[in-house]
Structure 1
Amino acid sequence: MRTSIATRANLQLIEDNYRRWRQNPESVDSGWAAFFEGFELGETPERDGAVAKPVEVRESSLQSRVDGLVYAYRTLGHTIARLDPLLDKRRENPLLTLRELGFSEKDLDLRVSSKFFFGNRQMTLREMIAALENIYAGSIGSEFMHIQNTRVRNWVLHRLESRPAKVEIPRAAQIALLRALLEAESFEVFLHAHYVGQKRFSLQGAESLMVILDTILHKCPGAGIEEICMGMTHRGRLNVLANFLKKSLDVIFTEFTENYIPDLVAGDGDVKYHLGYRTVRKLGSGGQIEIRLSANPSHLEAVDPVVEGTARARQRIRDLFMATRLLRGRGSLRKPSTCRNCPVTAPAAPCT
């Protein structure tokens, strides 16, 4: 019997007591006696007059191992994800080897399924492992099984396992994403070389943020989004201002110079990392998105409710503007009235 390190130390004690109990049940403590009686009862092949079938036992054991395989990849798959494109082969985790999971090479062509994976679809063990590696150990690692909220955890699981096996990205989009990465990296390298000793909160190591923001931006028109209200940390803020909100580089670099004294009582310091910005980005598709980056308060976490309040205010302003524009289009504009049950100021009308 294979044992873990935790149980191996007590194995000799269990075997000694078991041997004594087999010789004389009264020679051991009543707790040990009850334990060994239950153990042997579980090993008894006959249950209520019926004889357990060895085939069913083997199938039950196989199913348990298959379900354990799925759980293991969901829990530990991120530890062998291909996160470094320069590595020749995938990293290894001894807990995800066939032997550790209870299989061998000859089992790879067995037809298996799990009610916990792909809707109990039949496939070979080899295909199941390949699918699990593609989902949980590809170029993106997903660590989420620690989430205590079952509804949230299952939502993440469903999103991961319902992704297409391979996403085809047009070459033009690939070039645009590469450009976003290179611009982000070049910006940080320039600041590091020209402003030595200056306080900086670099984006280096997290340049993929620019790809994420750029992708979200270009998906906005299709989702009916016209405006983005956002807040963020100090780290990477200048890069986002320069390459996402397209703030003038002249202004950003001026804020690094020693003679830049903003009109503030407290002086300059790291004020450039607190500044907000507003811009309108025009997209290649012809649409445009207004972007508002909220200024950072001294306590950075306080920016969260600021962004939520800004977004809510902008929603109300836009709703009111649209209502006014529609009324003008009809050729009449009545005096508006405010109803406490209505989300925005609306034209005078009976309220239901």
Structure 2
Amino acid sequence: MDNFSFLNAAHTAHFAALYDQYLQQPDTVEPSWRAFFQGFDFGLESSGSKGTINSSEGFETEVPEQLQKEFRVVKLIDSYRSRGHLFTKTNPVRERRKYHPTLDIENFGLSKEDLSTVFSAGEIMDIGPSSLETIIGHLKRIYCNSIGIEYMYIRDPEKVNWIQQRLNINDNHPNFSVDQKKHILKKLNQAVSFESFLHTKYVGQKRFSLEGGESLIPAIDSLILAADDLGVEEFVMGMAHRGRLSTLANIFGKSTKDIFSEFDGKDYDEDVFDGDVKYHMGWTSKIDPNNDGKKINISLAPNPSHLETVGAVVQGIARAKLDNNYSSDTSKVLPILVHGDAAIAGQGLAY
């Protein structure tokens, strides 16, 4: 009897889920199944589109064609998860550079004739058995739209699964209510009008505008609102120059009168305090983001000239607040780091 005859009658969704698990975390798959998938992958690589495996007696056996295609669809899904961020629509000016190999279905042994075929592999994305066309549309909306995400390098399966579950919610697209949209528009308008005034009033002055990145303001605002709902009591921020003044005015509530006075040079008695000194200073205030009467403490750390050095400083401040004020309860203090233009983690720091 053919050792693999059971493959013809088995539930393909179960195999698809096992193969998906094998691709992400091979060591978590039962050894006999791991050996089976290793043999199948080897068969695909060595014999092209013909999926074969070797039985214990040394005979070459072909895996049923429908099951082969299920496995290929799982590989397609895994490739979108691993490389989808390379094909996102994140540049509004021109198309992104081309990366190879692409995510075209032909690279996975599938064809346009398979687009209408229903595959059980859709179940591993919580959309149930679906046509290949539906599966690809779902993957593109999640991984290849205006939000890119790279996470498959994470070694903790629980974290990977958590991210995947979050991505499947509304196809990784925000679903804002009318009031939320109005609030976002309000914060965007605040950011735009602030920069427009500075550009008009202080022509030629050295400044680090947020123009082109105004979405930072509603983004930080949303982060603080959500964290406040979860019980966070203190925020510690560190950021470089660009957008710093807009953040102080529109997030921290610093008086625009004070900010404009700094532009006029009225707050400094010594001549040495000129130029971009206002972009180096810190600020602390209490705000009520949700208008629920509970004020939270929010601090912006002073910035040294080597801008990304502030990252380690913010981490230290957050740790000190946790240890001294909250008995090391990490849910009470949220450090936020905003990197400067084209900065990388730890730039300029020697570990």
TM-score class normalised by the smaller sequence: 0.5 to 0.7
Relative to the length of structure 2, the TM-score reads 0.65
Counterpart residue number, 1:52: 61
Q: 1:242 to 1:76 in 2, by over 3 A?
A: same
Match of 1:279 among 280, 285, 293: 285
Task: Give the Å deviation of 1:78.
Answer: 3.1
Q: 1:296 to 1:263 in 2, by over 3 A?
A: farther
Query: For 1:292, what is the secondary structure of its paired residue?
Result: strand
Q: Which has the higher contact order (CA 8 A, sep 6+)?
A: 2
Counterpart residue number, 1:240: 247
Residue by residue, what CA displacement relative to the aligned partner does 1:18-62 show, whole Å, maximum 9, x if unpaired? xxxxxxxxxxxxxxxxxxxx98xx999996375634xx2534542
Counterpart residue number, 1:22: none
* 2:138 is aligned with 1:131: yes
Counterpart residue number, 2:266: 260
Q: For 1:253 and 1:212, locate their aligned partners in 2 and report how far apart those are by CA, in whole Å.
A: 24
The Cα RMSD (Å) is 3.7
Query: For 2:106, what is the secondary structure of its paired residue?
Result: coil
Q: Considering only CA atoms, is the larger Rg found in Structure 1 or Structure 2?
A: 1
Q: For 1:304 and 1:44, locate their aligned partners in 2 and report how far apart those are by CA, in whole Å.
A: 52
Counterpart residue number, 1:16: none
* 2:103 is aligned with 1:96: yes
Q: 1:86 to 1:178 in 2, by over 3 A?
A: farther
> In percent, how many aligned pairs have the same letter?
36
Query: For 2:105, what is the secondary structure of its paired residue?
Result: coil
Query: For 1:280, what is the secondary structure of its paired residue?
Result: strand
Task: Give the Å deviation of 1:199.
Answer: 1.4
Query: For 1:142, what is the secondary structure of its paired residue?
Result: coil
Counterpart residue number, 1:150: 155
Number of residue pairs matched by the alignment? 274
Q: 1:138 to 1:105 in 2, by over 3 A?
A: same
Q: 1:58 to 1:264 in 2, by over 3 A?
A: farther
Task: Give the Å deviation of 1:198.
Answer: 1.5
Task: Give the Å deviation of 1:190.
Answer: 2.0
Relative to the length of structure 1, the TM-score reads 0.65
Tell me if structure 2 keeps the 8 A contact 1:77–1:137. Answer: yes
Give unpaired runs (5+ residues) of structure 1: 1-37, 321-352
Q: For 1:291 and 1:261, locate their aligned partners in 2 and report how far apart those are by CA, in whole Å.
A: 23
Residue by residue, what CA displacement relative to the aligned partner does 1:127-155 show, whole Å, maximum 9, x if unpaired? 2212212211233122445x4x5339x73
Give unpaired runs (5+ residues) of structure 2: 1-45, 328-351
Residue by residue, what CA displacement relative to the aligned partner does 1:168-195 show, whole Å, maximum 9, x if unpaired? 3221111001111121122122222222
Q: For 1:275 and 1:76, locate their aligned partners in 2 and report how far apart those are by CA, in whole Å.
A: 40
Query: For 1:162, what is the secondary structure of its paired residue?
Result: helix
Q: For 1:305 and 1:140, locate their aligned partners in 2 and report how far apart those are by CA, in whole Å.
A: 28
